[in-house]
Structure 1
Amino acid sequence: MSEDEQKLVDTAGDYCYAVKNGEPVADPQWNSCRLVMTSKRLVLANSSGKQTLPHSNIEIVDDDVVPDGVDAAGATPLRIGDNVVLFDATGISDFEREYCRATLHGEIILANHPAVVGGVVQDDSEWRKTRFRLDDETISLGFPGGGSTSFAVEDVGTIETVTRQVMGQERTVLEVEHTDEEDRSVETHFSGMDHHTTALQSLFERVIEDREGDYELTETENQVLMALYSGVSPFEMADFVGLPVDEVEEIYQKLLDVGAVDEVRTRTEVALNAQGRNMASEAMSEN
Structure 2
Amino acid sequence: MGEAVVADFVGRFHTADMKRTEPVTGRVLLSRKRLVLAHDGGKTTIPLSSVSDINVGTVPAKLSEFFSDTITLAYSIDDGRNVAVIESGGDNVGRFKTVLFKTLLGGHKVKVKHPAKVGGRVTDASTKTAKLKLSKGSLRIVTRDGSVTIDLSTVTNFRRGQYDIAGKKRPTIEVTHMHNGTAKTTFISLPNNRKLNLLGRYLQLEYKDVMEEIAEIEISPEQTEVLVSLYSAGGQAKLGEIVTGDVATVQLVLETLRKNALISENGSALSLTAKGRVVVTEQIEDVNM
Name the CA distance, whole Å, in 2 between partners of 1:111 and 1:40.
Answer: 25
Q: CA RMSD of the aligned region, Å?
A: 3.2
Paired residues of 1:112 and 1:190 also in contact (CA < 8 A): yes
Paired residues of 2:163 and 2:171 also in contact (CA < 8 A): yes
Q: Does 1:66 align with 2:60?
A: yes
Write out per-residue CA displacement over residues 194-246 of structure 1, whole angstroms, 9 at most, x where no aligned residue: 33222222222222222323224234422311322324424224xx3544443
Gaps of 5+ in 1: none
Partner of 2:150: 151
Secondary structure of 2:10's partner? Answer: strand
Alignment of 1:267-286 (within 5 A): 270-283=270-283, 285-286=285-286
The aligned amino acid for 1:109 is V
The aligned amino acid for 1:41 is R
Alignment of 1:203-218 (within 5 A): 203-211=202-210, 212-213=213-214, 214-218=216-220
The aligned amino acid for 2:69 is G
Partner of 1:260: 262
Name the CA distance, whole Å, in 2 between partners of 1:191 and 1:60.
Answer: 18
Structure 1 position 284, deviation (Å): 6.4
Secondary structure of 1:189's partner? Answer: strand
Partner of 2:189: 191
Name the CA distance, whole Å, in 2 between partners of 1:136 and 1:169.
Answer: 32
Partner of 2:118: 117
Write out per-residue CA displacement over residues 67-108 of structure 1, whole angstroms, 9 at most, x where no aligned residue: 346334211221122211111245514143442233122222
Name the CA distance, whole Å, in 2 between partners of 1:168 and 1:46.
Answer: 50
Partner of 1:106: 107
Name the CA distance, whole Å, in 2 between partners of 1:110 and 1:174.
Answer: 11
Name the CA distance, whole Å, in 2 between partners of 1:103 and 1:142.
Answer: 17
Evaluate the alpha carbon distance shift between residue 50 and residue 106 of structure 1 in structure 2; reply closer, same or farther with a 3 A threshold: farther
- Tell me the matched-pair count: 273
Structure 1 position 162, deviation (Å): 3.5
Paired residues of 1:13 and 1:33 also in contact (CA < 8 A): yes
Secondary structure of 1:233's partner? Answer: strand
The aligned amino acid for 1:96 is K
Paired residues of 2:236 and 2:272 also in contact (CA < 8 A): no
Structure 1 position 8, deviation (Å): 3.0
Q: Does 1:79 align with 2:85?
A: no
Structure 1 position 58, deviation (Å): 0.8
Secondary structure of 2:107's partner? Answer: coil
Partner of 1:32: 25
Paired residues of 1:226 and 1:283 also in contact (CA < 8 A): no
**Identity in percent:** 22
Write out per-residue CA displacement over residues 26-74 of structure 1, whole angstroms, 9 at most, x where no aligned residue: 9622122322223443232334455432323112255667134633421
Secondary structure of 2:141's partner? Answer: strand
Evaluate the alpha carbon distance shift between residue 75 and residue 232 of structure 1 in structure 2; reply closer, same or farther with a 3 A threshold: closer
Evaluate the alpha carbon distance shift between residue 52 and residue 128 of structure 1 in structure 2; reply closer, same or farther with a 3 A threshold: farther
Name the CA distance, whole Å, in 2 between partners of 1:278 and 1:6.
Answer: 41
Evaluate the alpha carbon distance shift between residue 27 and residue 43 of structure 1 in structure 2; reply closer, same or farther with a 3 A threshold: closer
Q: Does 1:128 align with 2:143?
A: no
Structure 1 position 12, deviation (Å): 1.8
The aligned amino acid for 2:68 is A
Q: Give 4+ residue runs of structure 1 displaced > 6 Å after superposition.
A: none
